[in-house]
């Protein structure tokens, strides 16, 4: 018998999944129980529904079943693609997002040198100084971070909801910008240039095998040289299996309104809400 080419098999399964999605044929995303004749099927079903972890997948001898193994390889490939692929220029143009860059010249430098993603490049800083909208209440940053897939999947729904929420609350917003290979701290550099009151970064999270499309929102009130991580307010797990993007946009607008009212973010903001 000819040996199975696992990489080729994974590729064919992936292409079939994409074909079914394009044809609007629902592909079953709910996990299938692989354990045959469990002693307590109800308890196993409840456990499987409570977590995206790979439990109850069963085994064939000492190994996982073929279907589970192929799904694992597919999810692993999606996670790698989310980190390494570049955002599409057409996507940026469609959302009318000016694209800036950090000092990380490529993904290799971005992954190996954390500081390179925390500052804008000299060219981008100069562009923002000339073209940025100064002195607004809120500056929105979108960055691929560690997941381009997260941006592509969530921002088209999240950004309009966030902008609409802020407009209805009469909060002034600068034109959103996109930053290639940005880390969270790049928001401090941006805020120091545009002199906004609050900066919010919508950034792709490190992809896992449950989803590669999760986004986080980091908000901070007037960052400066003494800013520490506890000064940031964070909302994570924004994706279709967590907090839906449209709902997240409306919720983030409410949080930003409160941050502006309390003139604080992070731990200080949380403490003031409890008073």
Nearest CA to 180 out of 214, 151, 216 is that of 151
Q: Extract the runs of DSSP E, i.e. beta strands, from the chain.
A: 99-101, 138-143, 177-180, 198-204, 215-221, 233-238
What is the rounded CA–CA span in Å between residue 10 and residue 16? 10
The residues, any chain, with a CB within 8 Å of residue 78's CB and separated by 6 or more, are: 149, 207, 212
What is the rounded CA–CA span in Å between residue 150 and residue 213? 4
Nearest CA to 206 out of 123, 149, 152 is that of 149
What residue numbers does the annotated binding site for adenosylcob(III)alamin cover?
184, 205
What residue numbers does the annotated binding site cover?
184, 205
The residues, any chain, with a CB within 8 Å of residue 90's CB and separated by 6 or more, are: none
Residue 142, CB-side half-sphere exposure with 13 Å CA sphere: 26
What is the rounded CA–CA span in Å between residue 37 and residue 186? 53
């Amino acid at each position: 018998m000819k040996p199975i080419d696992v990489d080729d098999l994974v590729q064919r399964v992936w292409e079939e999944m994409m074909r079914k999605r394009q044809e609007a044929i629902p592909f079953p995303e709910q996990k299938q129980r692989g354990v045959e004749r469990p002693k307590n099927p109800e308890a196993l079903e409840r456990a499987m529904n409570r977590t995206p972890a790979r439990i109850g997948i069963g085994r064939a001898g000492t190994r996982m079943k073929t279907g589970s193994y192929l799904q694992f390889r597919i999810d692993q490939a999606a996670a790698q693609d989310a980190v390494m692929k570049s955002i599409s220029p057409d996507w940026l143009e469609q959302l009318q997002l000016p694209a800036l860059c950090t000092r990380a010249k490529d993904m290799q430098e971005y992954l190996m040198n954390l500081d390179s993603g925390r500052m804008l490049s000299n060219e981008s800083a100069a562009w923002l100084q000339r073209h940025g909208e100064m002195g607004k209440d809120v500056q929105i940053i979108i960055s691929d971070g560690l997941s381009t897939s997260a941006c592509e999947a969530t921002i088209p729904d999240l950004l309009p909801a966030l902008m609409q929420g802020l407009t209805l609350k009469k909060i002034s917003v600068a034109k959103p910008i996109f930053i290639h290979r940005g880390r969270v701290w790049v928001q401090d550099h941006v805020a120091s240039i545009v002199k906004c009151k609050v900066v919010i970064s919508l950034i792709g999270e490190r992809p896992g095998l449950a989803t590669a499309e999760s986004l986080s929102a980091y908000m901070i009130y007037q960052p400066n040289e003494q800013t520490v991580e506890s000064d940031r307010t964070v909302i994570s797990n924004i994706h279709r299996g967590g907090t839906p993007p449209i709902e997240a946009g409306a919720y983030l607008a409410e949080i930003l309104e409160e941050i502006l009212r309390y003139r604080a973010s992070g731990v200080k903001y949380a403490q003031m809400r409890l008073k």
